[in-house]
Amino acid sequence: MLSTLERHLLRRLLVAFVGATGGACFLFLLAATYRMVESGELSAAQLVRALPLALPFLLPYVIPIAFVMALALVYGRAIAEGEARTLMALGFSRLQLSLPALGLGVGLALVSLLLTTTLVPLCYRLRQQVMANTYLQLAALGSAQHLTLSFPRQRLAVYIRSQEGADLRGVVVSYGGPDLPEHRTLVVVAGQGRVEQSASGQTILRLRGASISWFQCPGEEVWSPDDPLLDQPPLEPIRARFEELSLDAGGLDQPSRLKNAAFSSAELRRRIDRALARLAGGSPDEEARRSASREADGVRRELAERAAMAAAPLVLTVLVLPLLFLLEARSPLVALVSAVAASAALFFVAHILGAFLAERLASPLPIFLSWLTCGGTGLGCATRARVQ
């Protein structure tokens, strides 16, 4: 059973944490909305569907920040107003005063772990699908004549002579996406087309009487616009014709190019097992072995980074509370600034540095550098505060 004091501190922590989380989520979503609107590549329907999916992706980063602010506001105020010193004079130790924060930190760490291992990867994939539904903008336009749409992020351009609802006439699609070699362009021309939904829910462009031209440089040469000897690229088109053709703009570079962030932790562990099985198989192809080794290392780093971020609320509690007790700041504002600055330097900067070292050293261990910096600093602060 929780004592009256523990319930009081826990209640204050929860109120401060909820308020800080709401404010941080609002600011992050506002920035995400501005970025999506500024790109001009999403329709209003895509924007409405993509924004809610961005929230779970932000929470593993918002939760530690909001929790640090809650700790600084509650304990910083208690220390500044002398409440903490009075309680310690009555026989309560610093550890007893810290138990509600430690308990809440453990609970938030478990919530963050659940988010990073399951919900975040799912929302990431759904959000990428929504943002990749390029042709959804066509269905939202109604009717138009001589329409041109450009999508720089996907290196895609669409021209339509006339449109009536989902029915299109005179369609030209030009694509130079990342799954094509450099300076290559795919051009699709069709007399008729229609915007439809595939069985997987993806918006596709179904064309009739379509012809495809793939323009490429002859041989292995790559034309450069800076080459003074050439005014134009040497084109050698390859053409094909289809009675019916379906174009899925979101599928041109998926799913083979999905990032590790798009997979749950269980899926990532299965990927490690498959990569290790390929290595154990003794493939004579050295390039295949190196590729399997790189994949296994990348997945291990992703799992380690998820664990490091999931434990952030608890790790930051170990850092912030001893720091606040050591400083004994007379102003809650000073406590807040000190806690945020220490968290940024000793956890978030250390986390970024650890991720960089992990990639360089091909080992997941440096990712936990932030645990060492925060734990060591918190232990030093607790020792000095006990001596005072």
DSSP 102-139: HHHHHHHHHHHHHIIIIIHHHHHHHHHHHHH-TTHHHH
Instruction: Give pLDDT, residue 262.
Output: 77
Residues in the chain: 388
b/e per residue 168-203 (b: at least 16 CB within 10 A): bebbebbbbbeebeeeebbbbbbeebbbeeeeeebb
Give how far Cα 246 sits from Cα of 252, 255, 283, Å.
12, 17, 37
Element (H, E) at 171: strand 167-175
Instruction: Give pLDDT, residue 220.
Output: 40
pTM attached to this predicted model = 0.70
Instruction: Give pLDDT, residue 133.
Output: 56
Instruction: Give pLDDT, residue 158.
Output: 81
Q: Tell me the pLDDT of the chain (388 aa) as tens digits.
A: 778 889 999 999 999 999 999 998 888 888 878 877 776 556 666 677 777 887 888 888 899 999 999 999 999 999 999 999 999 988 899 999 999 999 999 999 999 999 998 888 888 877 766 665 555 556 556 677 887 777 666 667 788 888 887 788 888 888 765 444 544 677 888 888 887 766 655 667 788 888 877 665 444 444 444 444 344 444 455 566 666 666 655 433 333 345 677 788 888 888 888 888 877 776 566 777 788 888 888 889 999 999 999 999 999 999 999 999 999 988 989 999 999 999 999 999 999 999 999 989 888 999 999 999 999 999 999 999 886 6
> Is the bond preceding residue 52 a cis peptide, omega within 30 degrees?
no
| Domain definitions of the chain by residue range | 142-251
Instruction: Give pLDDT, residue 380.
Output: 93
Give the C-alpha separation, 351 to 359, whole Å. 12
